[in-house]
């Protein structure tokens, strides 16, 4: 069971920004064919041609949102010209994510370092809590010696970031950390009684009820023990304790749904060493086999990594800025369901072809 979390920000829809021009920044490939459908679906994915802002309301509740949109480099039609315009570009999307998220939802935000730094305050404002910044180190092969450092006057950049955020659950507009402590204090019981409730020496007071940086999310079994003890021994006038609806205490299962999912594979850290995509990994147009279709295609293995780390089979993945739909393809490969949107007809067709593996396109270059 997942829990939708109410926050106190202004729910008024944010005005959509007018797309910026990308004149002079043309795509590597533009198809002369037109999409025959505006939505392509199978049992696992639903791919939309259009603006994801028009799709969110009909998509199923996400466990994972993978964002790979504007970088502020005029990389696609509607991208901004630098990082200063990125926060306004993302804000209506982030607001929509917050409306549809639950306590189990994780956002993976791909961008440059300065792009992420610019958008971070917007994510926080709409209830997303920073967890970790993961670095894709592409290595020296990414620049191949073709950087004039005397001219750019900085070290060559060979990285991107994929930043993990979780939707901060709140009860009575309190974080779980503060809500747990408030509920225990309402019982009138001494704080040390929480240790007795959990059958531990001091971990309940030292971690579960701590109000500083040492706070630790109580495992569902421990939460159930605290709730049972509070309702059996606490002041009868204040019952029920540890309740969201004021009728009954939360169950162990309900409490488990108040935290995002995370399964860390063995051997991984937050630095991901991997060469840039090359060869057969890159999506190419058959008639132009030497030309990559997308300038910033993400590795499927990275997409599978973050999806499997933050969801379970059968969960829903959102890919609001589909591009070539790499996250959606990885979702299908790992037994998840995906909803995605892409504005550009060329990318939409090429992305859909990855699922069909039968289409032949005619292309022109600029």
Specify the residue for token string 């603006």.
Answer: 51
pLDDT of 365 strictly over 60: no
**Chain-wide mean pLDDT for the chain?**
89
Global confidence as pTM: 0.89
- Per residue in 170-211, pLDDT tens? 999 999 999 999 999 999 999 999 999 999 999 999 999 999
Q: Which CATH fold topology does 174-256 show?
A: 434 Repressor (Amino-terminal Domain) (1.10.260)
- Give the Cα separation of 269 and 134 in Å (integer): 8
Phi, psi of 112 (to 5 degrees): -80, 170
Q: Which CATH fold topology does 30-169+263-364 show?
A: Rossmann fold (3.40.50)
Smallest CA-to-CA distance from 68 within 31, 43, 93 is with 93
Q: Quick one: pLDDT at residue 364?
A: 45
Q: What HEC string does 128-152 produce?
A: EEEEEEEEEECCHHHCCCCCCHHHH
Q: Do domains 30-169+263-364 and 174-256 have the same CATH topology?
A: no
Domain ranges of the chain: 30-169+263-364, 174-256
Give Cα separations from 22 to 80, 214, 341, 366 (angstroms): 8, 48, 20, 13
Give yes or no for a contact between 41 and 58, defined as CB atoms under 8 angstroms apart: no
Give yes or no for a contact between 273 and 229, defined as CB atoms under 8 angstroms apart: no
Return the structure tokens found at 268: 């991984």
Query: CA 305, 307, 311, 315: dihedral to nearest 10 degrees?
Result: -150
pLDDT of 366 strictly over 60: no
- Per residue in 95-108, pLDDT tens? 999 999 999 999 99
- Per residue in 230-268, pLDDT tens? 999 999 999 999 999 999 999 999 999 999 999 999 999
Helix ranges (DSSP H) in the chain:
86-100, 113-125, 149-152, 176-186, 193-198, 203, 220-233, 252-256, 300-309, 326-333, 345-356
């Amino acid at each position: 069971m997942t829990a939708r979390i109410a926050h106190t920000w202004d729910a008024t829809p944010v005005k959509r920004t007018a797309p910026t021009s990308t004149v002079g920044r043309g795509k590597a490939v533009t198809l002369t064919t037109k999409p025959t459908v505006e939505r392509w679906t199978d049992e696992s994915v639903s791919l939309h041609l259009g603006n994801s802002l028009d799709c969110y309301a009909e998509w199923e509740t996400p466990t994972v949102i993978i964002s790979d949109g504007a970088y502020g480099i005029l990389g696609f039609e509607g991208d901004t010209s630098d990082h200063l315009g990125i926060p306004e570009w993302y804000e209506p999307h982030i607001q929509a994510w917050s409306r549809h998220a639950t306590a189990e939802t994780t956002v993976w935000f791909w961008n440059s370092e300065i792009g992420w730094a610019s958008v971070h305050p917007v994510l926080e404002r709409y209830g997303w809590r920073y967890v970790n910044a993961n670095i894709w180190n592409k290595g020296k092969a990414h620049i191949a010696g073709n950087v004039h450092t005397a001219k750019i006057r900085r070290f060559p950049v060979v990285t991107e970031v994929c930043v993990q955020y979780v939707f901060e659950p709140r009860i009575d507009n309190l974080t779980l950390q503060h809500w747990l402590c408030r509920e225990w204090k309402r019982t009138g019981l001494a704080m040390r009684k929480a240790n007795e409730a959990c059958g531990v020496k001091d971990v309940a007071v030292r971690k579960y009820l701590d109000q500083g940086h040492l706070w630790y999310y109580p495992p569902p079994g421990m939460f159930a023990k605290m709730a049972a003890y509070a309702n059996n021994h606490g002041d009868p006038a204040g019952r029920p304790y540890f309740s969201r609806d004021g009728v009954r205490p939360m169950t162990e299962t309900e409490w488990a749904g108040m935290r995002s999912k995370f399964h860390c594979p063995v051997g991984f850290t937050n630095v991901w060493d991997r060469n840039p995509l090359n060869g057969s990994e890159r999506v190419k147009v058959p008639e132009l086999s030497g030309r990559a279709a997308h300038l910033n295609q993400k590795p499927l293995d990275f997409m599978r990594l973050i999806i499997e780390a933050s969801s379970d089979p059968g969960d829903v993945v959102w890919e609001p800025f589909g591009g070539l739909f790499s996250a959606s393809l990885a979702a299908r490969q790992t037994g998840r369901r995906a909803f995605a949107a892409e504005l550009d007809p060329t990318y939409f067709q090429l992305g859909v072809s990855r699922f069909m593996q039968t289409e032949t396109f005619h292309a022109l270059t600029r």
